Structure 1
Amino acid sequence: MAPFYRAVDVKSSPSNDAVYRIFAGDIDPQWLVGAVPNGGYVLALIVEAAIQYQAASTSGHKDPIHVTAHYLRTTSVAHFEVRVRTLKTGRGFTNLTAELIQQGNLIVTTHLIFGINTPTPPPHLTLVPPSPYARRIPLHTHPSTANPQRMREAWVFQPYMKLASDPTIHARNHPESISRTDSTTVGGGGLEWGAWFEFVDEGDRITNPSLAFLVDIFVNLPSLLPKSERQGLRSSWFPTMVLAIEFKAPIPRPSDVYASRTVGLYSSGRFLNDGRHDAYVEVWSAPCNIGEGVDTEGWREKQVCLATATQMAYIVPMEVNMAKGKKGSAKL
C-alpha cells in the first residue's frame, strides 16, 4: 500500500523480444474500486511504461499527446507486464502500442501518440484567455473555500486523496433545474459533476501518469440521477470499457499560481443505453490546495486545461466486482 507516486512503480524488464520492450511491476492493493484495480490507475501504469520507453528514443517525442485504451478483461491485484513497441515515428509524432499482460492474458490494449507538449510560437493557433472563444475553468468555487466531502466507500484509495464537490454544478442536476428538458427543448439534457481533487501525500505531484488516473475520478451519470430516475439501480460498479485521453498542455511548475498536488475536475454525461453510458471529463490546474491559499482576483484566467477524456462505461452489480476481485486473488 502506497501513495500514488509510489503505487505507479514500473521498471524495465530484461527481455530477448525483438519486437517489444517489456516493463513490469505489481498492482498496488489499495488503488482499487471495490475489489478491482481502478481503470485510470491501470492506465497510469501503461502511460508510465510508455514514457520510460520514449525517454530512450532518439525522436525527441517525450510527451504523451493522446492515448486510447480498450479494457478487455478485469485487472487483478497481481504482477503485470507492459509490452511497448513503436508503430511509426514521424517528424512531429510517434505512434506506439502498449499492452498490459497478466498471467499470460491480454488485459488492456492501448494506442499512444507521443510528441512535444509545449507552447509553440505563431503561426500555430492556441485558444487561451483573454480570447472570448477560450474555454475557462468550469468550477465556481475557489479551492480555499471548498469543503471536503465524503467519498464513495468503494474507493479503497480514498485515504490518499481529498475531494470537494462544486455545489453550483451539483444544483444543476436537480429535477427542478432549468437544465431539465421537455418536449419543446432542442438538445440539452444530461448531468454534470465537478470538484477539486487533492493528493494528500506531500510526496505526490500532478504528472502525466496521474492525469490518466484523474480522468477516471468522477461520479458516473447513473449515480447522479435522482432516485425517481434510477429505480432498481442497486449498489453498482461502473467498469470502463473504452477510455481516450488528450493531454492538452504541459503541467505548470508549482508556484503561488499553480498547486503541485491539486486539480479541478469537471465531467458531464448525456446518454444511458441499457447500462452503457458516456462521460466527458476535463482536468484543470488549480491555484492552491483545498482549504489553503486566498481567493485572488483573476485566478481563473491563469488556470489551464491539462487533459480531456471521453469514456464508455457499463453498469454492473457490485457483487460482480467483488467476485472478480476474489477470483483474481485466488490465482496469485
Structure 2
Amino acid sequence: MAPLGKATSVELDKSSNSTDGFKVFRGNVDPEWCVGDVPNGGYVLALALQACIQYQESTTHPDPIHVTGHYLQATSLGPFEVRVRTLKRGRGFTNVLADLVQQNRTRITTHMIFGSLEPQPDSFSLSPPSVYARRHPLHVHPSNAVLTRMARPWKFSHHIKWAGDPHLRAQNLPDHPSWKSVNADSIGGRGLLWGAWVKLQGEGERVTPASIAFLADIFINLPGLLPRNERNGLVPSETWFPTMTLILEFKARIPPASERHSASTIGLYATGTFMGEPQGRHDSYLEVWTAPSELGHGVETKGWREQQFCLATATQMALSLPMTVNASRAKYNSSKL
C-alpha cells in the first residue's frame, strides 16, 4: 500500500534479453489503487507506461508521445509483468509494444510512440498570445478553489484531493442558457462538462508521465454529470465504469516546480457527449493542464492562464455496469492466482 509514485514502480528482469524478442519488467498491483475491488484502468496503464519509459530512457527517444491501451480483461491484485519490445525505430519516433500479463494472460495490450518533447529552435507552436491558442479551461485559481468530496468507490481517495470547478458544473444544469436553444431545428447539444484541480497527496509526490495515465482516468464522466431525471435509474456511486480503451497524447514535458508551476497539482477538464448500447458505452475527452500553484496555496496573478500549458489529452471508451459485476470479476480473478 503506497502513494502513486511507489505504486507505479517496476523493475527490469535482467534475465530477460533481446533474444527473447522482448524485455520483461515486473511489479505488484497495489490494493489501494482500485475502483471497488478492481484496479483502476488508468493506474494499470501507468504500470505499462512506466515500464516503457524505463525501456526507452537511455535512447534518443525518451519521451512518451502517444499511448493507446486496449483492456482485454480486468486486472487483479498481485504480481504482474510487462513485456516490452520495439516494433520500429526511426529518426524521429520509436514505436513500442507492451503487454501487461498476469497468470500468463494478457490483461492490457498497448502500442506507444516515443520521441523527444524537448523544444526545438525555430519550431512552431500555437500558444498565447495568439487568439487561436487554447487557454487554461478552469475558471478558478487553485489558491481560491474549494475542496469537493469524491462520491465514488475509490479506495485511493485518501491519496488525492480535488476541487471541482463550479462554473463548469453549472453549465450542465437543465436551466442553463446554453440548453435553451437546443431544439428539433438546432445543431444539437454540446455535451456535458467537468473540471477540477487535483493534487497528489504524500511527501515527495509529484506528477510524472506515468501518473498522468492515472490522472487521465479519474473524473466525473457523462453518466455522472447527467441530471438525475436523465439517468434512467443509473446511480453513479453504485455503478462501475470499466475502461475499454484509453488513448493519451502527450503535448509537453512536465515543468520543474517553480513559482509558476506546481509539482503535485494539475488541472483536469473533461467532456462527454455520447452514451448508448451496448452496456452503457460512453465516450470521454480529457485535458491535463499544469497548475500555477498547489491546491489551496499561492496567489492569483493577472494573466496566470497564459503561463500554463496542456500536458496531455486523453480519449476513452468505457462501459456502465453494476458494482456487483466489479466484485464478481475481482473474485474470479483472485481465484485464479
TM range (shorter): over 0.9
The answer to whether residue 249 in structure 2 is matched with residue 246 in structure 1 is yes
Normalising by the residue count of structure 1, what TM-score does the alignment of the two structures yield?
A: 0.97
1:14-163 matches, within 5 Å, as 14-15=15-16, 18-57=20-59, 60-122=60-122, 124-163=123-162
- The alpha carbon displacement at 1:239 in A equals 0.5
**Could you list the per-position Cα deviations for residues 46-79 of structure 1 after superposition, in whole angstroms to 9, with x for gaps in the alignment?**
110001111244xx00000000000000010121
Kindly provide the amino acid, as one letter, of the partner of residue 222 in structure 2: L
Distance of 2:204 and 2:38 partners within structure 1:
25
1:255-274 matches, within 5 Å, as 255-274=258-277
3-state DSSP of counterpart to 2:117: coil
1:193-208 matches, within 5 Å, as 193-208=194-209
Task: Judge which range, 78-87 or 182-191, deviates more.
Answer: 182-191
Normalising by the residue count of structure 2, what TM-score does the alignment of the two structures yield?
A: 0.95
Which position in structure 1 is the counterpart of 2:336? 331
Distance of 1:34 and 1:134 partners within structure 2:
39
1:238-317 matches, within 5 Å, as 238-274=241-277, 275-317=280-322
Kindly provide the amino acid, as one letter, of the partner of residue 273 in structure 1: G
Match of 2:325 among 293, 306, 320: 320
- The alpha carbon displacement at 1:28 in A equals 0.3
Which position in structure 2 is the counterpart of 1:178? 177
Distance of 2:301 and 2:226 partners within structure 1:
35
Kindly provide the amino acid, as one letter, of the partner of residue 44 in structure 2: V
Distance of 1:150 and 1:36 partners within structure 2:
21
Distance of 1:243 and 1:133 partners within structure 2:
28
**Could you list the per-position Cα deviations for residues 159-190 of structure 1 after superposition, in whole angstroms to 9, with x for gaps in the alignment?**
11011000000000001112322223214331
Distance of 1:331 and 1:82 partners within structure 2:
19
Task: Judge which range, 152-161 or 177-186, deviates more.
Answer: 177-186
What is the CA RMSD across the aligned residues, in angstroms? 1.1
- The alpha carbon displacement at 1:327 in A equals 2.1
Which position in structure 1 is the counterpart of 2:217? 216
Kindly provide the amino acid, as one letter, of the partner of residue 49 in structure 1: A
3-state DSSP of counterpart to 2:88: strand
Kindly provide the amino acid, as one letter, of the partner of residue 324 in structure 1: R
Distance of 1:207 and 1:320 partners within structure 2:
32
3-state DSSP of counterpart to 1:170: helix
Kindly provide the amino acid, as one letter, of the partner of residue 3 in structure 2: P
Kindly provide the amino acid, as one letter, of the partner of residue 222 in structure 1: P
Distance of 2:282 and 2:152 partners within structure 1:
22
3-state DSSP of counterpart to 1:143: coil
Kindly provide the amino acid, as one letter, of the partner of residue 86 in structure 1: T
Runs of 4+ in 1 over 3 A off after TM superposition: none
Distance of 1:44 and 1:288 partners within structure 2:
24
- The alpha carbon displacement at 1:220 in A equals 1.1
Which position in structure 2 is the counterpart of 1:192? 193
Distance of 1:160 and 1:203 partners within structure 2:
12
Kindly provide the amino acid, as one letter, of the partner of residue 291 in structure 1: G
**Could you list the per-position Cα deviations for residues 88-116 of structure 1 after superposition, in whole angstroms to 9, with x for gaps in the alignment?**
01000000100000001010000000000
Identical counterparts, % of pairs = 54
- The alpha carbon displacement at 1:199 in A equals 0.5
Distance of 1:187 and 1:54 partners within structure 2:
45
Kindly provide the amino acid, as one letter, of the partner of residue 42 in structure 1: V
- The alpha carbon displacement at 1:119 in A equals 1.6
Paired residues in the alignment total 329
Distance of 1:53 and 1:300 partners within structure 2:
35
Distance of 1:107 and 1:199 partners within structure 2:
27
Kindly provide the amino acid, as one letter, of the partner of residue 77 in structure 1: L
Distance of 1:33 and 1:178 partners within structure 2:
35
Distance of 1:84 and 1:29 partners within structure 2:
24
Task: Judge which range, 176-185 or 301-310, deviates more.
Answer: 176-185
3-state DSSP of counterpart to 2:229: helix
Kindly provide the amino acid, as one letter, of the partner of residue 36 in structure 1: V
Kindly provide the amino acid, as one letter, of the partner of residue 12 in structure 1: L
